[in-house]
Amino acid sequence: MARFGMVIDLNKCVRCRTCYVACKKEHNILAFPKDEMHPYEYYRLRYVEWEQGSYPMVRRSFIPIQCVQCDDPICIRFCPVDAIMLREGLIKIDRNRCNGCGVCTNICPYGALYIDRDGKADGCDFCAERLDAGLVPVCVEMCSGGARIFGDLDSPDSKISKTVKSASAKSLVIKSQVNRRIFYIPSPNETDWDELEFHEGFKNAMDRRKRDLPPVRGIL
């Protein structure tokens, strides 16, 4: 059984938002600028972006974020109705069980899950239905800059394995969540990647997104 993973090379990412749009279209995720009728955000994939430094020595960091497929997913541990499980090592949400309570969306340190228009939790599963059909995730297929590499991490000859073995590929660790499926290649001036979760700009960007999630509705 393949152990699928992804590398996102931030040096190649031109920030075109193609992966965001392709993901929304592929999974028929509601696209509508927030208003009274649609007060929350709907996404499997999103971006956090923030500034570092001061004028004129300033840089803008940018990270596409989706479910990083934690080794021991906190969302599974805390789901009150056991609607989240691992299928071949990847997160799977049972929509019949999910009651849309919002615990998982609020507890995920990556802000990677959301409540969809039907009131169910949803998040990136590497386009499971496409994987079943022998295709790569749509964000990988459509990435204009060729910044996303996808494949079997256990296959030593795969491009992704070789890339991950390079010192430049790093996982994004937040609140000690171990994840070994999604890796990033930061730009050379992103020197504090390993401390990212403590960076004020990153934290603010993540917190801002949390405010766009519906509140937890209670356990049942």
Partner 1 sequence: MKQGKKSKHDEKWVHSACAMCIGAPMKVKLRNNKIVEVRGEDIPDWDGKVCGKAISGIGSRIYPPDRILYPLKRIGRGDKSKLVRCSWEEVINAVALKLKKYIDAGHPEYFEIWWGCPYQQDNVNFIHYWTAVLRSGISYLHGQVCFGDHAVEKTVTFGPNHASNLIFGVTDWLRTKYAVIAGQNFPGTANNAGGSCPVVFWKLINKAKENGCKFIIVDPKLQDSTPWSHEWVPIKPGSDAAFAISLAKVLIDRKLYDKTFLLQYTNAPQLINKKNGEALRDKNGNYLVWDTRTRSAKPIPKAGEAAGLTLGVGKTFEVAVDGENVSCETAFQIFSKAIGKEKAVSPIPQEKVYEIATELGENRPSAIVFPGMTSGRYPNWFQTLRAYSVVNLLLGNFDQPGGFYFLKNPFNLGMGWPEPPEVPEYREGQRFVPGPWGNLMSDKTIDKAPCYKEPREFHPATQALPWLHFEAIEKGRVRTVISSAENAAVTQTDSRWVEECLKNLDLLIVGDQVPKDIMHMADYVIPEASYLERYHLYFNYFLGSDDKEHSVLFMRSAVIPPQGESKPLSWFLMELAKRVGLGKYFEKLDLEYEWWDKMLKKARLYPNVTARKLIDEGPYSEEHPIVYNLLFRSIATKSGRFEIYSNELAEECYYNAKSRWYHSPYVHPLPKYISIAKPRKENEFYLVCGKATWHQKSATQNDRYLMEDAIEGDCEYTPIYINTERARRLGLVDGDLVEVECIGPTKGEDPCVYHDMAIGNKEKGRVKVTEGLHPETAWIYFASGHKSNLMLHKAQEGIAANWLTPCSVSPYAGGPGKNYSIVKVDKIEEGD
Cα(54)–Cα(41) distance, integer angstroms: 30
What is residue 95's three-state secondary structure? coil
Cα(185)–Cα(213) distance, integer angstroms: 28
Query: Min. distance of Cβ 119 from partner 1 in angstroms?
Result: 20
Query: Min. distance of Cβ 169 from partner 1 in angstroms?
Result: 16
Q: Which two tokens stand for residue 59?
A: 């840089």
**Radius of gyration in angstroms for the set of CA atoms belonging to the chain, rounded to a whole number:** 17
Query: Min. distance of Cβ 187 from partner 1 in angstroms?
Result: 8
Q: Which stretches of the chain bind partner 1, using CB under 8 A?
A: 11-22, 24-25, 31-35, 41, 46-51, 53-56, 58-62, 141-147, 187, 205, 208, 212
Query: Min. distance of Cβ 121 from partner 1 in angstroms?
Result: 19
C-alpha dihedral (133, 138, 139, 144), degrees to nearest 10: 120
Nearer to partner 1, 154 or 192 (CB): 192
Nearer to partner 1, 89 or 214 (CB): 214
Nearer to partner 1, 54 or 176 (CB): 54
Nearer to partner 1, 11 or 155 (CB): 11
Cα(169)–Cα(211) distance, integer angstroms: 30
Q: Which residue is associated with the tokens 């190649």?
A: 12
